[in-house]
Amino acid sequence: MKKIFAANWKLFKTPKETREFFTQFKEVSHKATGELVFFPSAISLEAASTSLAGTSIKWGAQNCHSQAQGAFTGENSAQVVKELGGSYVLIGHSERRKVFGETDAVIAEKVAFVQSLGLIPMLCIGETLEEREGLHTFRTLETQLHLGLAKADKSKPVVIAYEPVWAIGTGKVATPEQVAETHTDVFGILKALGFETTPILYGGSVKPDNAAGLIQQPHVNGFLVGGASLEVKSFIEIASV
Ligand code: PGA
């Protein structure tokens, strides 16, 4: 399976900074050993679209509404992502779940809508520290996958990003053993649901110095990177493992 290296820029980088990043990044992007996907913040999407036109580098939005248009003040439209030439939409990131109260039911609607437009949903799942310590990791991931994929079309692509909430932005990366065990569980759950060819990315404090150890683990098909994706040097180092 081809690897995917995705960059989640969260609420960082203006359109100008986005253009400057890609001017430099395009010089080194040939070093990547898999598909590259960028998730800039909404207002910088058009800058990404223009900068990446004619390249094989993919991009998408960090969130979208479950309808193309309507009276939804402040929302993003996946239809706009499609029209601008994007390929992906990140769905159900833990910050969306926690800070913006997104439920698995809402997430399922978004996954289905994104697929219906011919875009690829990258569905994020992950347990909190409390859930891991309470030995509920498997149950949490099974519930998030079961509900999040409830309306998904198995004949269309979807990508899963497993991101333990306790490892996001904390510098506390999961150990290679934890990643191996959890990715094997995620693969098993996906297989039972009929999604066995779905790529599974790891996310949560991925850095150039831990990427090589993590990519070797079973069922790790790439990374979703936050902090270390904001600099050309660190992201291309990760994407060339
Ligand atoms: P991080 O973020 O790499 O900064 O931990 C990952 C993410 O939120 O997707």
Task: Give residue-wise pLDDT tens across range 159-189.
Answer: 999 999 999 999 888 999 999 999 999 999 9
Q: Which atom of ligand 1 sits closest to the CA of residue 203? A: 6
The stretch 218-237 carries a mean pLDDT of 98
- Ligand 1: residue of 13, 96, 201, 225 to mutate (most ligand atoms within 8 A of CB) is 225
Nearest CA to ligand 1 atom 3: 226
95, 102, 127, 163: which is the annotated catalytic residue? 163
CATH number at residue 103: 3.20.20.70
Type of residue found at 212: A
The per-residue pLDDT for 84 is: 97
The stretch 141-149 carries a mean pLDDT of 98
Provide the token pair at 55: 């390249």
The response to whether residue 60 sits with its C-beta less than 6 Å from ligand 1 reads: no
Question: pTM for the whole thing?
Answer: 0.97
The per-residue pLDDT for 39 is: 98
Type of residue found at 148: G
Residue 225: φ, ψ to 5°: -115, 130
CB atoms within 10 A of CB 110: 25
Is 93 annotated as catalytic? yes
Residue ranges making up the domain that contains 24: 4-239
Q: Which is it for strands 35-39 and 58-61: parallel, antiparallel or unpaired?
A: parallel
The response to whether residue 92 sits with its C-beta less than 6 Å from ligand 1 reads: no
The per-residue pLDDT for 23 is: 98
Q: Which segments within the chain are labelled E, that is strand?
A: 4-8, 35-39, 58-61, 88-91, 120-125, 159-162, 200-203, 222-225
CB atoms within 10 A of CB 215: 21
Contact 206, 223 (CB under 8 A): yes
CA of 70 to the centre of ligand 1 (A): 31
Is 231 annotated as catalytic? no
The whole-angstrom separation of Cα 54 and Cα 199 is 25
Tally of structural domains, the chain? 1
- Ligand 1: residue of 41, 205, 207, 214 to mutate (most ligand atoms within 8 A of CB) is 205
- List, for residues 73-84, the tens digit of each pLDDT value: 999 999 999 999
